[in-house]
Amino acid sequence: MKIIKIDKEDWNIGLKKIADDYRLIGPAKDQEFYLFKPLGPREAPEMGFSNTRLSAKEIIYPQSQAMFNYTLDPNREDHHLLKDAEADDTLTAVIGIRPCDAAAFIQVKRNFDTPEYQDPYWLKAYEKTVLVGLACDQPGPACFCTTAGGGPYDEDALDVLLVDDDSHYMAKAISKKGETLLEKAGWTEAMDTDTAMQTVKKRRKAAENRISSTIATDNLSDADTMVLYDAPFWEDVAFACINCGTCTFLCPTCWCFDIQDETHGMEGRRIRNWDSCMFPLFTLHGSGHNPRGTKVHRVRQRFMHKLKYYVDKYEAGIQCVGCGRCVTQCPVNIDIRKVCELMNNAGGQSVTCAA
């Protein structure tokens, strides 16, 4: 596999070259933290970040997305008909996405791209997006990607992997899409593969060693679902939870949405918005009955989905990439690492909660 050397002095020149072909999105500092933002003509992505506060999921799966437009005006021929909303099919390049956020797209794709059903909005956006990943040399204290099926240099979900080697980036095209982007940017200077791979290996090892946080998931698949469901620790786990949507909205792998029709005057649109299993409204029936009527129900659902139902349904590990956002941003310190430990140790028999 070819490794390309991109001198940092040529970095902006290359980005400028591809700016006509791709909508460029990259990390930008917003007061206290980094967010993914569209990059203006003279803006360069700020690559010195640990990770962005919100994940990259919104780039492919916006928080609010129009699906259809309609008119209620009886004088119009097409009144009361749903018409496809105009889809933005601009080719998009996400510069500096972390391997964890990219891996999340693979996990989410299992849900949005099944033999029975393919979500046209998500898939179209995914196909139109090139993920230019930045290997993670400064994982945070709450990052646990290496035990969540990934790693700071994981390239599987990327189109290009960039490794920051001080004065230059080393770029490895992982897919055809990635190869095309590198060519268009004029980044073609091949490095000696063996030497380059050795550097990558060394840096990868160092990054992996910086990850101090781990989870164990080995018993989840064999655990009895009902034993986990009825485990005695849920009340303790849920006590502090305030049922806000921080964990689910910040999570790169949470995919649930709600569909709404919004009409202004005679014109309207059908949109889908992120939803959260933490909200009581999420499961409220038209009858007024709520099958997940208490916060203990809702907290248990979130963890059971990520750490048991998903594991059983897709047989591809947990629905979590270990980015640590829910851990660091939860307003009341509900910690998936701790809950995972409780679930993994439940082992078919009842356990009591250790603090």
Partner 1 sequence: MIGYIDKIKQISKQILKDCQVEVVMGFRRGTVPMMNEPCFAKTEDDVDQFVWDGNCGINLANYLTGRREKIGIVAKGCDTRNIVTHIIENKIDRDQLYIIGVPCKGMIDRRRTNTLCEGIREVTDRGDTVKIVGTDVEKELAKSDLLQKNCATCAHPNPVIYDELVADLVDQPADTERWADVKKIEAMSSEDKWGYFDDLLKECVRCYACRNACPLCYCPTCFVDESTPQWVGKSQDPIDVRTFHFLRAYHCAGRCTDCGACERACPVGINMRVFTRKLEKDCYDQYGWEAGLTLDVRPPLDTYRADDPEAFIK
Site residues (vs partner 1, CB under 8 A):
30-33, 35, 50, 53-54, 63-64, 138, 140-142, 210, 236, 239-240, 242-246, 248-250, 258, 260, 262, 271, 273-274, 276, 279-281, 284, 327-335, 337-338, 355
Report in angstroms how near the CB of residue 314 gets to partner 1 at its nearest.
Answer: 27
Q: How far apart are CA 200 and CA 182, in angstroms?
A: 19
Query: In the complex with partner 1, which residue's Cβ is closer, 118 or 212?
Result: 212
Q: Quick check: 282 and 292 in contact, CB under 8 A?
A: yes
Amino acid identity at 294: T
Residue 273 CA, chain-centre distance (Å), reads: 16
Query: In the complex with partner 1, which residue's Cβ is closer, 189 or 261?
Result: 261
Report in angstroms how near the CB of residue 39 gets to partner 1 at its nearest.
Answer: 18
Report in angstroms how near the CB of residue 115 gets to partner 1 at its nearest.
Answer: 31
Q: How far apart are CA 199 and CA 158, in angstroms?
A: 20
Phi, psi of 160 (to 5 degrees): -135, 140
Q: How far apart are CA 181 and CA 187, in angstroms?
A: 9
Query: In the complex with partner 1, which residue's Cβ is closer, 9 or 166?
Result: 166
Query: In the complex with partner 1, which residue's Cβ is closer, 200 or 330?
Result: 330
Report in angstroms how near the CB of residue 236 gets to partner 1 at its nearest.
Answer: 7
Report in angstroms how near the CB of residue 140 gets to partner 1 at its nearest.
Answer: 6
Query: In the complex with partner 1, which residue's Cβ is closer, 92 or 248?
Result: 248
Q: Quick check: 101 and 86 in contact, CB under 8 A?
A: no
Report in angstroms how near the CB of residue 350 gets to partner 1 at its nearest.
Answer: 17
Q: How far apart are CA 11 and CA 318, in angstroms?
A: 36
Q: How far apart are CA 108 and CA 111, in angstroms?
A: 5
Give the end-to-end CA distance of the chain in Å, rounded to a whole number: 48
Query: In the complex with partner 1, which residue's Cβ is closer, 63 or 114?
Result: 63
Report in angstroms how near the CB of residue 303 gets to partner 1 at its nearest.
Answer: 15
Q: How far apart are CA 283 and CA 262, in angstroms?
A: 21
Residue 204 burial (CB count, 10 A): 18
Query: In the complex with partner 1, which residue's Cβ is closer, 175 or 243?
Result: 243
Report in angstroms how near the CB of residue 146 gets to partner 1 at its nearest.
Answer: 16
Q: Quick check: 138 and 209 in contact, CB under 8 A?
A: no
Query: In the complex with partner 1, which residue's Cβ is closer, 56 or 250?
Result: 250
One-character DSSP codes across 208-222: HHH-------TTTTT
Q: Quick check: 142 and 213 in contact, CB under 8 A?
A: yes
